[in-house]
Amino acid sequence: MAKTNVKRRTRNKTPSSSATTSLASIHAQRRNRLYKALGGTPLLLRAAPEVLRNGDVHFSYRQDSNFKYLTGFDEPESILVCMPTSTGYETHYFVRPRDKEREIWDGPRAGTRGAIREYGADHSYPISEFWDVFGKMAGDIDELAYPLGSDPTFDVQVLRHFGARFTGRPRRNQGLPSFVDPRPALHEMRLIKSSEEVDLMRRAAEISAAGHRVAMSIAEPGMYEFEVQAELEAVFRREGSPRNGYDSIVATGKNACTLHYIANNAKIKKGDLLLIDAGAEYGHYTADITRTFPVAGPFSDAQRAVYEVVLRCQKKCVALCKPGTTVKKLLETSWRELTKGLVELGILKGSIDKLVEKKAFRPWYMHGLGHWLGMDVHDVGAYEDRSGKPMQLAPGMVTTIEPGLYFANNDKKVPKEFRGIGVRIEDDVLVTKNGPDVLTSGVPKEVREIEELTSIE
Ligand SMILES: [Mn+2]
């Protein structure tokens, strides 16, 4: 039984077509920035294909993030073609046409008119006319920006189309265009979030924090992990998030040591820690929060000792999230801090420098410190440049900071009281010129705050 009833809240509206005029201009600006980055090379991008689950039922659809970033368009079976003019791209959308019969089953479609009116296309066509129109439009291009390799089914069609230059009419002895991958340029753009993007991420973070707070307050011994998950995700939905950014991890006790534990089907035992790694998506952007807390608190001494080591490390790394800090510096700081902690806990012995150098922490801290965050949970963007130099943080970047320590329940190398304890603490940090802006500060992480929220009255 849950301790508190989850209060119903008025649903926040998801970003809707009422704001499409300004949204359409944002997408047009992005396409024009890409035009400059690609030197005006024609661009071809296909929407994410639908994927069959079984029979005639599909997995729930989510638009490809690059496609969404450039068009705002959510429908499958669409193609974006950008043809250069002297000043920027002219945009052609190929979309599913309006269809009374199909819309009864699948819901409304923007259609060719909507593509222009609501999504800012300069020209639009039914998807069935794609090869014909594209053939005329791009018949003699020598270069095409297209992410070859990401959609093998479509790759074959694209290659076959241009291969026909040697068999069709007219024949001009013209070979295939050279393919330029538009992703590096796109990903560089997506790495730095604009203020509109930050607004969406802030909202995703707030919604996620609200869910985590509820989970902390209702979790108690005897519940199943999936019950806590349901309460957490109910908050996400009520607050206006249509789906999660990734599968929620709700891991009690030793399950926390399985890094991507998503079975979520174990019963929560008294005295266990519960690790929850879950994030709501909002406007196609996701949050990514992890908290670890005692079920019906307080922490045991061993749990608190481990928790405080991870927390101290996490806070130190968050504080370093300012322009100029390299991702390498962040990672190495987490190595050093957790190594110090492992020595304090009596698990490692020796000089900190030597232990860090040997990566003696590896058995218990086996993942990285964090990752870029945005439309995708493990968002696009480089961690090092072409020469291998680590990226420096810059204003507009959003990274997770998520150190952890995991002691498997059969780990003979650690004192008994620590076995079966897994702790990870994760926040989403926006880098600003004034330093770190923790988007996920709405969910507690201090020991005292957590114990207040989790204790049974
Ligand atoms: Mn993460």
Residue-wise pLDDT tens digits, 255-268: 999 899 999 999 99
Q: Are 374 and 285 in contact (CB under 8 A)?
A: yes
pLDDT at 394 over 80: yes
* Res. 421: pLDDT tops 70: yes
User: Tokens standing for 20?
Assistant: 């499409």
In this predicted model, what pLDDT tens digit does every residue of 126-180 receive, in sequence order? 999 999 999 999 988 999 999 999 999 999 999 999 999 888 777 788 899 999 9
Residue 14 has pLDDT above 70, yes or no: no
Residues 457 and 4: their CA atoms lie apart, in Å, by 11
Per-residue pLDDT, averaged over 405-425, amounts to: 97
* Fold for the domain defined by 17-188: Creatine Amidinohydrolase; Chain A, domain 1 (3.40.350)
Find out whether 176 and 251 touch, Cβ atoms under 8 Å.
no
Q: Which H helix or E strand runs over 202?
A: helix 195-218
Query: Do 268 and 221 form a contact (C-beta atoms < 8 A)?
Result: yes
Residues belonging to the active site = 56, 260, 277, 288, 367, 371, 378, 402, 406, 424, 426
Strands 178-180 and 143-145: parallel
Residue 295 gets which letter from DSSP?
T
**The two three-digit tokens of residue 293, written as one number:** 């807390």
Quick: pLDDT tens for 287-331: 999 999 999 879 999 999 999 999 999 999 999 999 999 999 999
Ligand 1 center to residue 371 CA distance, Å?
7
Number of H helices, E strands in the chain: 13, 19
Query: Where is pLDDT greater, at 456 or 439?
Result: 439
What's at 442, amino acid-wise? G
| Whole-angstrom distance, CA of residue 10 vs CA of residue 238 | 7
| pLDDT band at residue 455 under the 50/70/90 scheme | confident
Report which DSSP code applies to 110.
-
* % of residues, the chain, pLDDT over 90: 89
Rg over alpha carbons for the chain, rounded to the nearest Å, is 25
Handedness of CA 189, 192, 197, 203 (dihedral sign): positive
So what's the pLDDT on residue 167? 86
**Average model confidence (pLDDT) across the chain:** 94
357 CA to centre of ligand 1 in angstroms: 25
- Rounded-to-integer distance, Cα 95 and Cα 269, Å: 52
Report the separation in Å between the CA atom of 342 and the middle of ligand 1, taken as the mean of its atom positions: 23
Phi-psi region of 284 (alpha: psi -120 to 50; beta: other; left: phi over 0): left
Pair 32, 122: CB distance under 8 Å: no
Which residue ranges does the chain devote to CATH 3.90.230.10?
Answer: 192-454
Contact partners, residue 418, CB within 8 Å, separation at least 6: 302, 306, 345, 347, 407
Distance from residue 370's CA to the centre of ligand 1 (Å): 6
CA 374 from chain center: how many Å? 5
Q: Could you give the CA distance from residue 348 to residue 368 in angstroms, rounded to a whole number?
A: 20
From CA 191, how far away is CA 204, in angstroms rounded? 17
Does the pLDDT of residue 17 top 80, yes or no? no
Strands 289-294 and 273-278 come out as: antiparallel
Q: What is the DSSP letter of 121?
A: -
Query: Side chain identity at 59, as an amino acid letter?
Result: F
State how far the Cα of 26 lies from the Cα of 120, in Å rounded to an integer.
10
Nearest to 78 by CA among 30, 117, 119: 119
pLDDT the model gives residue 144: 98
Given this model, what pLDDT does residue 420 score? Answer: 96
Residue 112: its pLDDT value, please?
96
Contact 330, 321 (CB under 8 A): yes
Give the closest residue to 95 by CA, choosing from 71, 66, 128, 63. 128
**How close is the Cα of 127 to the center of ligand 1, in Å?**
37
Average pLDDT in the 5-34 region? 68
pLDDT at 19: 52
Calculate how far, in angstroms, residue 260's C-alpha sits from the geometric centre of ligand 1.
10
Q: Alpha-carbon distance 274 to 215, whole Å? A: 10
Look at residue 8 and tell me whether its pLDDT is greater than 70.
no
Which band of pLDDT confidence, cut at 50, 70 and 90, is reported for residue 102?
very high
Q: CATH 3.40.350.10 occupies which residues in the chain? A: 17-188
What average pLDDT does range 366-386 have in this prediction?
97
Contacts of 23 (CB under 8 A, 6+ apart): 15, 72
Does residue 25 surpass a pLDDT of 50? Answer: yes
pLDDT at 457 over 70: no
Phi, psi of 456 (to 5 degrees): -85, 130
What local confidence, expressed as pLDDT, does residue 350 receive? Answer: 96
Alpha carbon of 381 to ligand 1 centroid (Å): 15
Q: Quote the CA–CA distance of 154 and 412 in Å, as a whole number.
A: 52
- Tokens coding 88: 């920027």
Give the integer Cα–Cα distance in Å for 184 and 95.
26
Topology (CATH level 3) of domain 192-454: Creatine Amidinohydrolase (3.90.230)
Q: Residue 437 pairs with which residues in a beta bridge?
A: 430
The mean per-residue pLDDT over the stretch 418-434 comes to 98
> Is the Cβ–Cβ distance between 205 and 245 less than 8 Å?
no
CA–centroid distance, 86 to ligand 1, in Å, is: 42
- Centroid of ligand 1 to alpha carbon of 401 (angstroms): 8
Relative to beta strand 404-407, strand 421-424 is antiparallel
**Per-residue confidence (pLDDT) for residue 297, from 0 to 100:** 77
Average pLDDT over residues 21-46: 94
Question: Which stretch of 168-182, 277-291, 375-389 has the lowest confidence by average pLDDT?
Answer: 168-182
What is the rounded (10 degree) CA torsion for 331, 336, 338, 341? -170
pLDDT-derived band of residue 456, with 50, 70 and 90 as boundaries? low
Residues 189-240 have pLDDT tens digits of: 999 999 999 999 999 999 999 999 999 999 999 999 999 999 999 999 999 9
Mean pLDDT (whole number) for 39-52: 97
